[in-house]
């Protein structure tokens, strides 16, 4: 479907964007593409200044840009305060959110008679739904998923292929879980008996709030006792490990390969960058930002940014790292100083003697 | 089912715990819970001193504590030397180990006629068991598992959903593998031919000893030749990568996201903390403890604790890390010293001239 | 099947290896094994000098060694310039590449009528192939795989169990993907709206070139717009995370647990060692080697080797690390110097006064 720039600007303005058309508002576009890939009939955007020079070469028919970006003469623009938010709105407008294959409730799914499933369910072949499961309305479950005994899923949940929910997992409304993710497996709970490890039954469960999206191939341990909790609105990338009994508050953003040990507490709206890790029983305050590859070993105060392993306040970490690259030079200077001081001492002593 | 404190104390004493009841031994409890979550009719425990202040606020009807813990007047206690071991025993007593859905051998499983399966098998729909597989007694295999040609599984093995065993994998008795874990895939075995990579057929296999438990979404390469080995009693958390031909001895404990490159040898009862890694062909001795996020690049002697990337003895690593945070200050002091020495040199030279 | 050393030498020579037989060319071997595991009737090899001492104890009937290796008297040898390449050729000769169970197109697979599948397809039970999929000839798809709407697969593709290809994924010829890997899931694409995260529809896809092999339990995000690209001949190990819109050129080698953030560009023939990570929007040149656990935060020039977090040229990183272990000693020396300088200053001042 085609849209004129003018129509798109009005759509953005309806959302409060205060969008200005620069150039020909009658130009038609039918898809969103990157500056590099876009061809005529497509609209692109510039959000990261790193790509600004591509404005000169893009084949896009129009580009969404910030208020103050210099763009080549003749390029049709939609000027907005926040190009990233605007292009998001345009992608939704022009392409929509993902649609799913329609299976109804497949006869080739194995659904317990003791499960309760809501209206308009879309359950693929090769899905297993165990006893005492309760599932809301408008749920989509792809092939190969396993929903264990006693799980409860809210409305509009989407489970992509091969997601596994162990017994007793609770998912809120509009939870999306990507392929291969496992929720509620036993954590590393053992009591040492000499050199042996005696298994502690893991009798807790996992609870996931509303509007949570979890990437692919993540592993979220059930709690030993009580629950492991992922708060509403939190988003995870892929290959993330969450230890037993961790409590993550709402609206957090975890990048790929993050790992939380058991019993970690994370406040709301916390960002964990890629490959960061947190040791057990630590508390991270609201709005904390943990840098990539950081290793958090102590509690972190709300609102701070930390980096490094062990993690420290980011300004401190950056100063340490900056000096670290000068370490070989510092050692040389230290040696030089030692030689000079020895020489001064000698001269002083010789002077003393010579007097 | 309800138990009096007195009964539970006797159960612990029967296991050799030397448990003392403080308070009312006739109080009844029916479940174990954390200090925070417990309500009346439940029993809790204190093992980590960090949570000691919760003794004042817990609603638990009783708490298992260590010998010397100060607890508020009126709180019913079970005093033991090792509260963690004791609560483990009580969880087993009161909740039992996990039970599994019962499928018998499902008609919707695809089981080769050339497979041999032991007594009381519990094999779910959507399981594939290939030719020449031999499976012991009392095995449970959840939906979506694949057991490749020629695999051998001992008695009482549990495979949670979507576990994949490549051809020729060998599992001992009482092995438990959590969902999504892959055993025996080809490792990164290629010979360089110019800039191309020529695949080396990976003709080895994986052998897993008795009583091993492996978390979810782990990947364990088959050996190029011979076997990759995971010793009896070893426990893995989630998202762990084991390279081809690695040999891990018995009773090890690997935390989430640990990675071992190919041909690593690990002794018995080794602990690898989260996100630690080991480069290829390294040998790690018995009882070694590798700290979180460490990168082991050289052999590690038995009984030592290492930390850091590259990993070094922990006391050394901690001293280095302690100094590292002072690096910016050290550089300032170095500059200051250089200025002072220059000034001293000048004074000494001036003095010399002035005499 | 048995082969004489002479036959194997001729096979290597036919491949241009210039192989010399030392000892008895009439000796017969039937399998390849490691120096440690080999028994009579097997051939082994020495490629890593670390294992040279095992030549004295191996039970192998013959060993492939380099030109200049000292071997015990009486051990039959095949001498070549490159023992690793030679043993690769012998493994292929004696053991062949992996064969697969034969399912034809299983009636227990769910294959859309709107999918087109090439000749000699080998599609297991419990596979789902969605609408508008196009699959080449000689493809093998193991149980539990999901091939989403509109995917295109070349000839001779192998998908091991439980691989998930999201809609629109494109795979070239001879692509092999190991169990549990997910291709084309949504990446972490959200626009911040206050503390909330608004999902950006991920309308791109993933394209994988010819002769790519990907390990188990990897996660490869689809692009937000356009494509995530993995170039021909590239090889991945396990548990690797590739962010949305990353572009990886041909013949790269990624070791386990590597993570690339979104929009990273990687040149051809780049090696990323285990647990290395790259932040978003960075460009890595051709033939770069990134060391284990490195964190790449800036563009890397072609042909360089980098190490550390943040990554720096390897010679620099190694100098820094070497000095780092001496930090505590350096601080002591700094203190010592400060004391000495203070004393010198005092003596000089006292001297001045005393004159």
Q: What is the tens place of the pLDDT at every residue in A266-306?
A: 999 999 999 999 999 999 999 999 999 999 999 999 999 99
Residue B354's pLDDT band (cuts 50, 70, 90): low
CA distances from B304 to B301, B319, B320, C202 (A): 6, 16, 17, 48
Residue A279: closest CA among A256, A261, A294? A261
Count of alpha carbons within 13 angstroms of residue C112, beta-carbon side: 21
- Asked if C342 reaches chain A (Cβ–Cβ under 8 Å), the answer is no
Write the DSSP symbol of residue A300. Answer: B
Which pLDDT value is given to residue B199? 93
Give which of A275, A295, A309 to mutate to test C binding, by max C Cβ within 10 Å.
A275
CB contact (8 A) between residue C101 and residue B326: no
DSSP string across B161-195: TT-EE-TT-EE-TT-EE-TT-EEEE--S-EEEETT
- B336 pLDDT band, cuts 50/70/90, is very high
User: For residue A260, is pLDDT > 80?
Assistant: yes
Contact C293 B309 (CB under 8 A): yes
pLDDT of A355 strictly over 60? no
Asked if the Cβ–Cβ distance from B239 to A241 is below 8 Å, we say yes
d(CA A304, CA A317): 13
Backbone angles phi, psi at C93, to 5 degrees: -60, -45
Q: Judge whether B346 is closer than 8 Å to chain C, CB to CB.
A: no
Placement of tokens 């600004």 in the chain:
A52
pLDDT in tens, B261-314: 999 999 999 999 999 999 999 999 999 999 999 999 999 999 999 999 999 999
State whether residue A185 sits within 8 Å of chain B by CB.
Answer: yes
Task: List chains touching B (3+ CB pairs under 8 A).
Answer: A, C
Q: Does B152 touch chain A (CB under 8 A)?
A: no
The one-digit pLDDT tens for each residue of chain C (355 residues) are 899 999 999 999 998 889 999 999 999 999 999 999 999 999 999 998 889 999 999 999 999 999 999 999 999 999 999 998 899 999 999 998 889 999 999 999 999 999 999 999 999 999 999 999 999 999 999 999 999 999 999 999 999 999 999 999 999 999 999 999 999 999 999 989 899 999 999 999 999 999 999 999 999 999 999 999 999 999 999 999 999 999 999 999 999 999 999 999 999 999 999 999 999 999 999 999 999 999 999 999 999 999 999 999 999 999 999 899 899 999 999 999 999 999 988 888 887 666 5
Residue of A nearest to C180 (CA): A180
For residue B221, which residues of chain C lie inside 8 Å, CB to CB?
A: 237-238
- State the smallest CA–CA distance between residue B227 and chain C in angstroms: 9
pLDDT for B349:
83
Look at B197 and C235 and tell me if their CB atoms are within 8 Å: yes
pLDDT tens figures, A36-94? 999 999 999 999 888 999 999 999 999 999 999 999 999 999 999 999 889 999 999 99
Of A14-23, A232-241, C143-152, which range is least confident?
A: A14-23
Alpha-carbon distance of A61 to C251, in angstroms, equals 36
Give the model's pLDDT for residue C354. Answer: 65
Q: What whole-number percentage of chain B has pLDDT above 90? A: 89
What is the per-residue pLDDT for A351?
73
Q: How far apart are CA B17 and CA B9, in angstroms?
A: 9
ipTM of predicted complex: 0.94
Q: Which residues in chain B have their CB less than 8 angstroms from residue C82's CB?
A: 191
Indicate which residue of C244, C269, C281, C326 is catalytic: C244
Mean local confidence (pLDDT), B44-53: 92
Whether residue C71 lies within 8 A of chain B, CB to CB, comes out as no
Contact C257 B261 (CB under 8 A): no
Annotation: CATH topology of A3-95:
3.40.1390
C-beta atoms of B201 and C238 within 8 A = no
C31 forms bridges with which residues in the sheet? Answer: C42
DSSP-assigned letter for residue B222: P
Q: Which residues of B55-87 are buried (b: 16+ CB within 10 A; e: fewer)?
A: beebebbbbbbbeeeebeeebbbbbbebbbbbb
CATH number of A110-316: 2.160.10.10
pLDDT digits (tens, 9 = 90+) for A171-192: 999 999 999 999 999 999 998 9
Whether residue B319 and residue C334 make contact (CB cut-off 8 A), yes or no, is no
CB-based contact A33:A54 (threshold 8 Å): no
B126 at A interface, C-beta within 8 A: yes
Comparing CB atoms, the residue among A201, A275, A277 nearest residue B98 is: A201
Q: What is the pTM of this model?
A: 0.95
Burial A94-109 (b: 16+ CB within 10 A, else e): bbeeeeebebeebebb
Query: Chain A to chain B, count of Cβ pairs less than 8 Å apart?
Result: 201
Could you list the active site residues of A?
244
Report the pLDDT value the prediction gives residue C1, as an integer from 0 to 100.
Answer: 80
Residues in chain A within 8 Å Cβ distance of B177? none
């Amino acid at each position: 479907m085609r849209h004129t720039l003018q129509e798109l600007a009005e759509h953005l303005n309806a959302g409060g964007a205060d969008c200005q058309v620069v150039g020909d508002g009658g130009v038609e576009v039918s898809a969103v593409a990157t500056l590099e890939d876009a061809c005529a009939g497509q609209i692109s955007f510039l959000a990261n200044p790193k790509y600004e020079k591509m404005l000169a070469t893009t084949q896009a028919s129009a580009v969404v840009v910030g208020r103050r970006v210099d763009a080549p003469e003749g390029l049709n623009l939609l000027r907005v305060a926040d190009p990233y938010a605007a292009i998001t709105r345009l992608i939704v407008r022009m392409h929509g959110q993902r649609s799913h294959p329609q299976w109804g409730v497949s006869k080739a799914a194995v659904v317990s008679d003791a499960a309760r499933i809501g209206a308009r369910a879309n359950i693929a072949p090769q899905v297993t739904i165990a006893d005492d499961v309760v599932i809301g309305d408008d749920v989509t479950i792809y092939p190969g998923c396993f929903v264990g005994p006693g799980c409860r899923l809210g409305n509009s949940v989407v489970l992509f292929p091969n997601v596994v929910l162990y017994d007793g997992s609770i998912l809120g409304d509009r939870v999306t879980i990507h392929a291969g993710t496992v929720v509620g497996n036993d954590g590393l709970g053992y009591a040492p008996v000499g050199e042996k490890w005696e298994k502690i039954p893991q009798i807790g469960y996992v609870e996931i709030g509303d509007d949570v999206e979890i990437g692919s191939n993540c592993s979220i341990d059930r709690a030993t006792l009580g629950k492991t909790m992922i708060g509403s609105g939190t988003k995870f990338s892929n290959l993330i490990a969450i230890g037993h009994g961790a409590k993550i508050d709402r609206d957090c953003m975890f990048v790929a390969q993050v790992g939380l040990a058991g019993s970690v507490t994370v406040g709301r709206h916390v960002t964990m960058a890629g490959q960061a890790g947190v040791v057990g029983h630590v508390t991270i305050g609201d709005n904390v930002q943990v840098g990539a590859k950081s290793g958090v070993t102590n509690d972190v105060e709300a609102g701070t940014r930390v980096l490094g392993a062990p993690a420290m306040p980011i300004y401190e970490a950056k100063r340490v790292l900056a000096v670290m690259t000068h370490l070989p030079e510092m050692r040389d200077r230290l040696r030089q100083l030692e030689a000079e001081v020895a020489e001064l001492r000698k001269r002083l002593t010789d002077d003393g003697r010579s007097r």
